[in-house]
Amino acid sequence: MTPSSAGTETHQQMAVEDFERLARTAPETVTLEFIQGKLEVKPVPDGDHDEIVMWLQAMCMQYRPELGLYGERGLKIETYRNGRAKPDGVLAPRGHFAGHGEWSDPDGVLMTVEVTSHDHDTDRRDRHEKRDGYAAAGIPVHFLINRDEQTLVVYSTPEKGKYAQRTTHPYGATVDLPDPVLVTLDTGKLKDYAH
């Protein structure tokens, strides 16, 4: 038993070390995560999902060329770093992950990004569990691109395992990503990927 970020007892399906060994041997077509003590299979992204990530990457490079938006970068998350997640994007200074293995400590990460998928677990996984894991790890900003609702949700100010600030914007709005990201996004282009 390990404490969850909420302070209640949860049962882990396996030890973190066993998960890492399993993830290393999984086929390239399968991405595994370990969220709140449970093994999760991350769905294969569709073309619109990939285009959204590429759009955000270009925006970040335009305004903050010293930063990189790393796709599928493995992070140790949750209060005791017992979780393992591969966000759709991880914003950090270029070169930050040099010398790291598959799973990096979140220190120095400025923002995580999740683009929702069209699968039955996306609500629980992308909108709640992973967000709370990023907050518990102290990642300053979490950016959720919610394709089902065509909204952009910016979470910031992690406190006691939760994000204290939340702003929601429709596709097409101008979105200011807060400190330490400090990027302003014109999100009109996202309407092209609303299928």
User: Which spans in 74-136 are helix H?
Assistant: 122-124, 130-136
Tell me the residue range of the domain where 102 lies.
45-193
Per-residue model confidence (pLDDT) at position 69: 97
Count of domains observed in the chain: 1
Within a domain: residue 155?
Answer: yes
Q: Would you say residue 110 lies in a domain?
A: yes
Residue 117 pLDDT? 80
**In CATH, what number is assigned to the domain containing residue 179?**
3.90.1570.10
Query: Is 97 among the domain residues?
Result: yes
Domain contains 20: no
Q: What's residue 120's pLDDT?
A: 59
Q: Is position 157 within any domain?
A: yes
The SS3 of residue 34 is strand
Contacts of 1 (CB under 8 A, 6+ apart): 9, 10, 11, 12
Determine, yes or no, domain membership for 26. no
- Looking at the whole model, is its pTM more than 0.75? yes
User: CA 52 → CA 23, 44, 113, 161, 194, distances in Å?
Assistant: 26, 14, 11, 28, 10
For 4, which DSSP code?
Answer: -
Q: What is the pLDDT of residue 124?
A: 57
pLDDT score, position 1:
35
pLDDT of residue 121: 60
Count other Cβ atoms within 10 Å, centred on residue 152. 21
Residue 140 lies in a domain: yes
The reply to whether 31 falls in a domain is no
Q: Which two tokens stand for residue 109?
A: 């990460």
pLDDT < 70 stretches in the chain: 1-11, 43, 119-128
Write down the pLDDT at residue 38: 78
Exposure on the CB side of residue 179, measured as CA atoms within 13 A:
0
